[in-house]
């Protein structure tokens, strides 16, 4: 390992200097296989149909595992390279070549993307294994694994693309897999609705990405990361700001950040392994990846950076507050995911001081949050798929392994040293205090609220009195499910330590994203102490309220306005409805003279000829030939007028 040095000895490195992109050779020519293996497996499983039912889940798991092994091999190979030769490009074929412009299907493997590759493939493989057990009784298990493989392939394409256009392909691909998996139980109306909602909200974000790509093309004529990094310096500042904001909009959609956060809570309708993989560990962090990957753009625009900080701060508080009021264990975790991604986005908005910690927290969060979700799935498995924590209680005795692994994840997320979350979250709070003290205070408070809602969840599920129905017989899950949970629990315990002190994450990522050490205004030990104090206070309040006292089986209805607001997701849906849906409906229904009805000459039996469409006179698309002809005439007059205007003006 070329990178074993202590974290604190890092010299300040200014702007990133990734070195030249080195053409792939030797082991690195295998990069494309990372994507090809799960993609081929997905295609096979979908095409073979029911014939593959017996072994489909095994093939799917093997494909994910093969990618994971390959990922490790590539990591080792990359470590063997000198620091300035770790950005490896592999061009597969020329995709589009029109005029002065070329887009290649080309991959770029560098320290940033390999970190994601390992997270996606290793956590992905564990969740595949877990799903073998979790989905054992589902008649469509093969299809489920096909979608999971499809997701892995698309997500790998997203992080391995060497340009924004190909990234967009992966971006749409993970979206597609995500909708398919949220709506996997489409017989449940709520699942189908949730899939639709995720889809619609994400479209708003996707507009941001396509706008960003068009701006890049219009101003720089290139989409490759290296090309944009080079050319961005000569773009005028306003355009750079718009570019940054468009990218932020894209990130908000995919990463469920304010104001596009509402879909994530509903997405919990999908099977729990999906929530763990896509809606916690990987896909929802794509927005953070996008911002960090575009560091050269954000470094030049303070306005867009500030917007990123604001969005991250608002979301981290919102998510945490929503988490405190949810009785549905998965929705509680979803609120927590929003909040934790808020931390990452906040860090990504802090510039070179924050990028590495955004990714660091993303990696540790991927491990402990996936573990927490799998634990929640295991509890649901034993409780006849009930998700209401008010019906749990005292499960520690009957689900010891789940309790232990969930507990380790709990310690990691609330940030108790030396568990994984402590290292990453603490760094973010530190840097936030150094760069934007207000955001730092919010992050500190958020840590306290996190401790509260996670303790509440822990207490309501595993401690206190048993509140389950007599006909429910909680039991520990089979080994195929508990083993992945145990592996992820190891990540919750050691993930932070290993990444920070063995993997030396700061130095590892610095060549790609840059790193500047930022010192907060108050002494670091004091800040750590303060954070610990806030966390302990939050946890103690949570424990007193939910473990020591009786928890009613029915949610109390006489509650404060704050609780009501948190239960209603802080009115995220109402806001979306007011901001996006109603204007859209208004536009389509009122502004446009439209034809909602279908023409049906045969049904009405009106005489042959022109009358069948007469019902909608006075509207534009009236069905009358005469009004169509009139409109053509007017159009011709307008064109003539414009031509004359151009000529004489």
Partner 1 sequence: MVHLAVPLAETLTFPSFQYRAMAPILVVLGAAVLGVLVEALVPQGARRAVQLAVTLGGLGAALALVVATPASEQGMVAAGALAVDGPTLFLQMTILVVAIVAMLVVAERRVDPSGDAFAPRAAALVGSTEEQEQTRLGWTQTEVWPLFLFAVSGMLLFVAASDLLMLFIALEVMSLPLYLLAGMARRRRLLSQEAAMKYFLLGSFASAFLLYGSAMLFGFAGSLDFAVIADAFRDKPGQLGLQLLGLGLVSVGLLFKIAAVPFHMWAPDVYQGSPTPIAGFMAATVKVAAFGALLRVMYVALGGAAWEWQPAFWVIASITMLVGVVLAVTSSDIKRMLAYSSIAHAGFLLLGVVAFSTAGLSATMFYLLAYGLTTVGAFAIVMLVRGPSGEAGHLSSWAGLGRTSPLLAGVFALFLLALAGIPLTSGFTAKFGVFAAAIESGGVWAVLAAVLASAISAFFYLKVIVLMFFAKPGPDAPAVVVPSLLTSTAIGVAVVATVVLGVFPQVFLDLADASTPFLR
Whole-number Å distance between alpha carbons of 305 and 244: 8
- Interface residue with partner 1, options 44, 101, 401, 488 (CB under 8 A): 101
- Interface residue with partner 1, options 10, 83, 217, 545 (CB under 8 A): 217
Q: How far is the CB of 217 from partner 1 (least distance, A)?
A: 6
- 32 is written with which tokens? 């494309």
586 binds partner 1 (CB under 8 A): no
Q: How far is the CB of 643 from partner 1 (least distance, A)?
A: 5
Residues 6+ apart with CB under 8 A from 479: none
Residues 6+ apart with CB under 8 A from 15: 299, 352, 514
Residues 405-444 within binding reach of partner 1 (CB under 8 A): none
- 619 is written with which tokens? 């509207």
Whole-number Å distance between alpha carbons of 317 and 323: 10
Q: How far is the CB of 624 from partner 1 (least distance, A)?
A: 9
Q: How far is the CB of 46 from partner 1 (least distance, A)?
A: 9
**Candidate segments 23-31, 295-303, 494-502, 608-616, binder of partner 1 by CB under 8 A:** 608-616
Q: What is the DSSP string of 215-283?
A: HHHHHHS--BHHHHHHHGGGS-HHHHHHHHHHHHHHHHHHTT-TTS-HHHHHGGGS-HHHHHIIIIISG
- Interface residue with partner 1, options 7, 43, 62, 211 (CB under 8 A): 211
Q: How far is the CB of 591 from partner 1 (least distance, A)?
A: 8
User: For the window 222-251, what string marks contact with partner 1 as x by the rule CB under 8 A?
Assistant: ------------------------------
Whole-number Å distance between alpha carbons of 493 and 94: 45
Query: What do you get for the CA distance between the two ends of the chain, in Å?
Result: 71
Q: Which residue, among 308, 369, 375, has the nearest Cα to 343 in the 3D structure?
A: 308
User: How many chain residues interact with partner 1 (CB under 8 A)?
Assistant: 72
93 binds partner 1 (CB under 8 A): yes
168 binds partner 1 (CB under 8 A): yes
- Interface residue with partner 1, options 196, 517, 567, 616 (CB under 8 A): 196
Whole-number Å distance between alpha carbons of 148 and 155: 10
| Of 226 and 606, CB closest to partner 1 | 606
98 binds partner 1 (CB under 8 A): yes
165 binds partner 1 (CB under 8 A): yes
Q: How far is the CB of 47 from partner 1 (least distance, A)?
A: 10
| Of 55 and 101, CB closest to partner 1 | 101
- Interface residue with partner 1, options 5, 6, 94, 400 (CB under 8 A): 94
**Candidate segments 78-86, 88-96, 456-464, 489-497, binder of partner 1 by CB under 8 A:** 88-96
Beta-bridge partner residues of 93:
105
Residues 623-642 within binding reach of partner 1 (CB under 8 A): 623, 625, 628-629, 631-632, 634-636, 638-640, 642
Whole-number Å distance between alpha carbons of 524 and 452: 24
| Of 390 and 616, CB closest to partner 1 | 616
**Candidate segments 94-102, 310-318, 367-375, 428-436, binder of partner 1 by CB under 8 A:** 94-102
Residues 282-321 within binding reach of partner 1 (CB under 8 A): none
- Interface residue with partner 1, options 4, 23, 73, 96 (CB under 8 A): 96
Tokens 């264990």 label which residue? 329
State the DSSP code for 513: H
Q: How far is the CB of 174 from partner 1 (least distance, A)?
A: 13
Q: How far is the CB of 195 from partner 1 (least distance, A)?
A: 5
Largest CA-CA distance found in the chain, in angstroms, rounded = 89
Cβ(474)–Cβ(468) under 8 Å? yes
169 binds partner 1 (CB under 8 A): yes
Residues 361-380 within binding reach of partner 1 (CB under 8 A): none
- Interface residue with partner 1, options 227, 407, 520, 612 (CB under 8 A): 612
Q: How far is the CB of 224 from partner 1 (least distance, A)?
A: 15
3-state DSSP of 405-470: HHHHHHHHHHCCCCCHHHHHHHHHHHHHHHHCHHHHHHHHHHHHHHHHHHHHHHHHHHCCCCCCCC
**Candidate segments 110-118, 201-209, 358-366, 480-488, binder of partner 1 by CB under 8 A:** 201-209
- Helix, strand, coil proportions of the chain in percent (round to 5)? 75, 5, 25
- Interface residue with partner 1, options 486, 606, 615, 619 (CB under 8 A): 606
- 576 is written with which tokens? 């979306």
Q: How far is the CB of 41 from partner 1 (least distance, A)?
A: 18
Give me the helices (H) in 163-224, please. 164-182, 189-220
**Candidate segments 51-59, 181-189, 287-295, 381-389, binder of partner 1 by CB under 8 A:** 181-189
596 binds partner 1 (CB under 8 A): yes
Q: How far is the CB of 208 from partner 1 (least distance, A)?
A: 10
Residues 6+ apart with CB under 8 A from 507: 3, 5, 10, 515
**Candidate segments 303-311, 359-367, 491-499, 591-599, binder of partner 1 by CB under 8 A:** 591-599
- Interface residue with partner 1, options 66, 192, 300, 441 (CB under 8 A): 192
- DSSP E strand stretches across 64-152: 88-98, 101-109
- Interface residue with partner 1, options 117, 195, 201, 500 (CB under 8 A): 195
**DSSP-derived pairing of the beta strands 88-98 and 22-23:** parallel
Q: Give the three-state DSSP class for 474.
A: coil
* Omega before residue 208 within 30° of 0, cis: no
Whole-number Å distance between alpha carbons of 138 and 146: 14
State the DSSP code for 136: T
609 binds partner 1 (CB under 8 A): yes
């Amino acid at each position: 390992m070329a990178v074993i040095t202590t974290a604190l000895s890092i010299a300040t490195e200014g702007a990133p200097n990734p070195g030249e992109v080195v053409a792939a050779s030797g082991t690195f020519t295998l990069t494309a296989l990372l994507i090809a293996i799960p993609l081929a497996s997905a295609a096979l499983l979908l095409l073979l149909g029911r014939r593959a039912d017996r072994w489909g889940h095994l093939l799917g798991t093997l494909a994910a595992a093969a990618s994971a092994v390959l990922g490790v091999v590539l990591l080792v190979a990359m470590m063997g390279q000198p620091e300035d030769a770790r950005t490896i490009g592999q061009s597969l074929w020329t995709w589009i070549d029109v005029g002065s412009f070329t887009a290649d299907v080309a991959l770029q493997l560098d320290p940033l993307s390999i970190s994601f590759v390992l997270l996606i493939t290793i956590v992905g493989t564990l969740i595949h294994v877990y799903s073998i057990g979790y989905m054992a009784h589902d008649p469509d298990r093969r299809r489920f694994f096909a979608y999971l493989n499809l997701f892995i392939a698309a997500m790998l394409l997203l992080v391995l693309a060497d340009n924004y256009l190909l990234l967009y392909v992966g971006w749409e691909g993970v979206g597609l897999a995500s909708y398919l998996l949220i709506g996997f139980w489409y017989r449940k109306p709520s699942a189908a609705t949730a899939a639709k909602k995720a889809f619609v909200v994400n479209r708003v974000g996707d507009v941001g990405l396509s706008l960003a790509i068009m701006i890049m093309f219009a101003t720089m004529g290139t989409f490759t990361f290296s090309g944009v990094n080079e050319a961005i310096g000569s773009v005028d500042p306003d355009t750079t700001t718009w570019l940054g904001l468009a990218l932020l909009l894209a990130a908000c959609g995919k990463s469920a950040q304010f104001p596009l956060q509402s879909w994530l809570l509903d997405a919990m309708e999908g099977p729990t392994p999906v929530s763990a993989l896509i809606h916690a560990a990987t896909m929802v962090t794509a927005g953070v990846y996008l911002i960090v990957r575009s560091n050269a753009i954000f470094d030049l625009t303070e306005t867009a950076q500030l917007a990123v900080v604001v969005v991250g701060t608002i979301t981290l508080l919102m998510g945490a507050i929503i988490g405190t009021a949810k009785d549905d264990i998965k929705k509680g975790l979803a609120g927590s995911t929003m909040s934790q991604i808020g931390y990452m986005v906040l860090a990504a908005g802090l510039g070179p001081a924050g990028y590495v910690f955004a990714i660091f927290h993303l990696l540790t969060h991927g491990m402990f949050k996936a573990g927490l979700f799998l634990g929640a799935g295991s509890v649901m498995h034993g409780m006849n798929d009930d998700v209401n924590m008010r019906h749990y209680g005292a499960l520690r005795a009957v689900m010891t392994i789940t309790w232990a692994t969930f507990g380790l994840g709990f310690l990691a997320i609330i940030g108790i040293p030396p568990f994984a979350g402590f290292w990453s979250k603490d760094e973010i709070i530190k840097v936030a205090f150094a760069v934007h003290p207000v955001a730092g205070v919010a992050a500190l408070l958020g840590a306290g609220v996190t401790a509260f809602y996670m303790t509440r969840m822990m207490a309501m599920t595993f401690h206190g009195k048993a509140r389950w129905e007599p006909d429910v017989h909680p039991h520990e899950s089979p080994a195929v499910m508990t083993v992945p949970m145990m592996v992820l629990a190891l990540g919750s315990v050691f993930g932070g330590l290993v990444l920070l002190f063995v993997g030396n994450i700061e130095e590892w990522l610095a060549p790609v994203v840059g790193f500047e050490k930022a010192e907060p205004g108050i002494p670091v030990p004091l800040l750590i102490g303060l954070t610990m104090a806030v966390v302990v206070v939050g946890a103690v309040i949570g424990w007193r309220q939910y473990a020591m006292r009786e928890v009613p089986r029915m949610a109390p209805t006489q509650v404060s306005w704050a609780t009501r607001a948190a239960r209603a997701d802080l009115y995220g849906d109402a806001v979306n409805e007011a901001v996006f849906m109603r204007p859209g409906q208004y536009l389509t229904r009122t502004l446009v003279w439209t034809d909602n009805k279908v023409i049906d000459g045969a049904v009405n039996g009106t005489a042959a000829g022109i009358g069948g469409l007469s019902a909608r006179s006075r509207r534009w698309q009236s069905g009358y030939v005469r009004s169509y002809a009139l409109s053509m005439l007017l159009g011709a007059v307008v064109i003539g007028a414009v031509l004359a205007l151009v000529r004489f003006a």
